[in-house]
Structure 1
Amino acid sequence: MSLRELLGVDFPLVAFSHCRDVVAAVTNAGGFGVLGAQTFTPEQLDQELTWIDEHVGGRPYGADVIIPTSYASGPELVVPAGHRAFVADLLAAHGIDLTVDDALLAGRPTVREGLGEELLDVVFDHPVRLVANALGVPPPSMIRRAKATGVPVAALVGSREHALAQVRAGVDVVVAQGTEAGGHTGEVSTMVLVPEVVEAVAPVPVLAAGGIVTGRQVAAAVALGAAGAWTGSVWLTTREAGLPASTVRKLLAASSRDTVRSTARTGKPARQLASAWTSAWSTGPAALPMPVQGLLAEPVLRRLDTLADKGNEEAMALVTYFVGQGVGLMNAVAPAAEVVRAMAEDYLAATERLAGAS
């Protein structure tokens, strides 16, 4: 099935972003924007989706909601004193005066039982054309509710085995995400993973993901059998993305070799910018299980972002961000719509080259 049939778009490009402005800009330019909803409260998500509704004129978009299959609580969510001390020593070694205490960690993100279902309530109150689950197999309730409203369900996978499990669970679209991708990834490259998954789950449509930041890579994904591409990192350096200026500078300066799969931020292997933070954890204590590592890391890293934006070079050395190996091709800030147009032109040129080579 083509993306035109499934999602109502002509250009086979899906753009994941936590920023509503990026989602709307991509959708309005002919792609398919997907809002990462996991950082919002239900009230905030409703505001974000309402804003998108008001700015896309009925054009299609989707939402990505992470619903864990189990929830840690009570003592399991306590950050051990030894790990707090490790972070405090790391900050002190970089001359950063920041106390890693309860006051700092109080602003940490929380995941509670029932939150995912509340977010889904909001999502299905809006005219989304796709709902995605980025971590694990979507719970039966998500698939059941989506099918009842006629909304396709997508899920990200890093292996053939995971893809088969997703299809057995009732997923409509499989996103085969190679190790080049930013965020949580497996170990298999996009070039190998995509045809493997396409063959395993046919006729279920597959989107290729992982390191895709150009139109010629979208064309390559289609040549491998994918229905299109799922992209994320390339939107981080768009004008609408709203990242701290210091982080954008770091992204623009990075090469494809400047990322690392590390547990230092979430507790699970996630590709991000290599930094003094990821380096320290590679030789330090074992990362805490998800979500506890994030309860420690996220408040500290957010504070470091603020310090780096004020010109603190030591904080800048520690700052990291989820991004794929395609960062080496992200060399300028541009409006999201311009990125879509450039990718579409590059895609068409690549498909013409493919046709000429046959």
Structure 2
Amino acid sequence: MDALTQATAPPPAEALAAIDALMARGAAFFGSRYAIMGGAMSWVSERNLVAALSNAGAFGVIACGAMEPPRLAEEIAATQALTQKPFGVNLITMHPRLEQLVQTCIDHKVGHIVFAGGIPPGSAIKAAKDGGAKVVCFAPALALAKKLVRSGADALVIEGSEAGGHIGPVSLTVLAQEILPHIRDVPVFVAGGIGRGEAILSYLEMGAAGAQLGTRFVCATESIAHPNFKKAFIRGAARDALPTVQLDERFPVIPVRALQNGGTRRFLEHQAETIRRFLAGEVEKGAAQLEIEHFWAGALRRAVIDGDVENGSLMAGQSVGLVTREQPVAEIVQELVTQAAMALAARQG
């Protein structure tokens, strides 16, 4: 069999069945065909992409972000109108109306609530579980993973620093070795830098229940991201997706991985000028910190929705180099599963 025939040939049924078996726990947890979870990306993970993911056999997740409860209720209802399949909602734990958002999910019979952006309060976990929802939490270290399971988390996501957006300091390759051998009570999903099925297979074999992918789905046909935003992803390479740089430890900057553009360059200049004004006594420290933090306010929306890719925020994971064209979600999902099955079949001879 030549290389071209091998690349286009369907994977053997036995290999596909083996992938199904490796994904069985994660798929059962979500109620989906595959244990592939859509990463919640603000402005991108809305009704169209979420429903497309769930309809394709993956598991879509709405990014609530800064939405207020009535707006979230509207998005959930609109997603339910587009799919009969299960999907989840990602809530930011720092949201001032977290409890109301949990109740909104419960009122609309959302089966899975994903808490992100910090350790969720016990009251929020209890409210979600009492309302019949399964709780998913992000675990950045083994000690916290164990604590979250004791607190009632039904599943965990371990996300490496390769991911896009707000990131932790540790790569997925290290987190997986630290956490997967020790957490067996609940399903653990891996995230960060995953763009091909071979990588998903390797983590499944390490004990992961499935994988979360965000960057890979930004350029889905069903994604409402602006054509300029999609073009930036298709052009981008792994080395272009870098974390934000902090100039002075007295003024901490939350690390965010994004494609470099005019905005990222101006952010460095803005930090330098703000620090200069602080040292000159022109601005107090608290006000200077707020000026730095507010630089990116609205920047993600400007890029994703308005298409201002020079001044907006191009949050992207390092797997952006694996995004080469616009494709339907169903095609991407099948590509990932096929890659995993072909890799398994090749290894088995």
**1:41 equivalent in alignment to 2:27:** no
Equivalenced residue count is 304
**1:253 equivalent in alignment to 2:280:** no
Cα offsets for 1:250-309 (capped at 9, x unmatched): 111000100111168x941111112232234346527989987554422356557787x4
**1:52 equivalent in alignment to 2:69:** no
Percent identity between matched residues is 28
Q: Pick one of 64, 69, 86 that aligns with 2:90.
A: 64
Mapped contact 1:13–1:228 kept (Cα < 8 A): yes
Structure 1 residues 302 and 20: alpha-carbon distance in aligned structure 2, compared to 1, 3 A threshold: closer
Q: Pick one of 11, 16, 22 that aligns with 2:34.
A: 11
Deviation at 1:210, TM superposition (A): 0.3
Q: Find the aligned partners of 1:30 and 1:353 in 2 and give their Cα distance.
A: 25
Deviation at 1:136, TM superposition (A): 1.2
Q: What is the DSSP-based 3-state SS (H/G/I as helix, E as strand, rest coil) of the residue aligned with 1:216?
A: helix
Q: What is the DSSP-based 3-state SS (H/G/I as helix, E as strand, rest coil) of the residue aligned with 1:249?
A: helix
Mapped contact 1:172–1:204 kept (Cα < 8 A): yes
Q: Pick one of 145, 148, 158 that aligns with 1:163.
A: 145
Aligned to 1:90: none
**1:278 equivalent in alignment to 2:278:** no
Mapped contact 1:16–1:23 kept (Cα < 8 A): no
Mapped contact 1:28–1:56 kept (Cα < 8 A): yes
RMSD: 2.7
**1:328 equivalent in alignment to 2:321:** yes
Q: Pick one of 166, 181, 189 that aligns with 1:199.
A: 181
Normalized against structure 2, the TM-score is what? 0.79
Gaps of 5+ in 1: 69-110, 310-314
Q: Find the aligned partners of 2:296 and 2:52 in 1 and give their Cα distance.
A: 31
Q: Find the aligned partners of 1:249 and 1:263 in 2 and give their Cα distance.
A: 24
Gaps of 5+ in 2: 1-23, 247-251, 275-285
Q: Map residues 86-235 of structure 1 onto 2, 5 A cutoff.
A: 113=96, 115-235=97-217
Normalized against structure 1, the TM-score is what? 0.77
Deviation at 1:25, TM superposition (A): 0.7
**Which amino acid in the other structure matches residue 30 of structure 2?**
L
